[in-house]
Each structure stands twice: as C-alpha cells, then as structure tokens.
Amino acid sequence: MKKALIILAILAVVGWLIFKPDYTKPWLKVGQSGMGFVQSCYGGDCSQFYYVEIENAGKSSLGNYILTTEFDNGGEIEAEVTCFKDGSDRLCAGVGTGGKLWRFRK
C-alpha cells in the first residue's frame, strides 16, 4: 500500500510539472485573438478595465510579446509586454502606444 501511494504521489508531481501553466507567456498563442480586459495607466492614474478583443502579434526583436487591440471608437494600441502571475491570474503589462502602461488580462 505504501509503494502505491509513493508511486501515485510521484506521478502527481510529474504531471503537475508537465501541465502547469507558463505565466511568462500570454494566454493567447501567437497569431491568435480572443476577448480580454485592457487597462491603461499614465502618470499614476489608471483607467477602468475594458473588455475588448486582443491579439497576440508575436515577439519583438527584444523577445517580448506584442499584444494589440482596437477599441470601438477606432483607437488602436500595440504594447510590448512581459507576462507574470498576479494573484491567481495572468497579467501582461508593458509600455505601448502614447507612452502609456498597458495591462492585459484574460
């Protein structure tokens, strides 16, 4: 019985290591788009989060991901972001259009 529990525990750890999320990448694959939340910050003031379509445009020459979106009013943004775990969620943030800090959430 002890042997079976040890084997089960080892398999669980190996499975977790294989399938754990990589929070350093956006939740969207390169070339994929989907709905998410976007917030802009400038000078210490942040907007509310807007629910819009976000696209992962790939990597920049620096190796960071580029996320883009278009707003209903015709505005477009592109931001070179780094992603990380923020609480229990993934957050991608970086400077983009207009020198603002842009935050992206699933």
Residue 65 token pair: 């991901």
Long-range contacts of residues 75-83, Cβ cutoff 8 Å, at least 24 apart: 77/38, 77/40, 77/102, 79/104, 81/26, 82/24, 83/23, 83/24, 83/25, 83/26
* DSSP conformation class of 61: T
pLDDT of the residue at 73:
84
**CATH class of segment(s) 23-105:** mainly beta
Tens of pLDDT along 12-58? Answer: 777 777 777 788 899 999 999 999 999 999 888 999 999 999 999 99
Domain residue ranges in the chain? 23-105
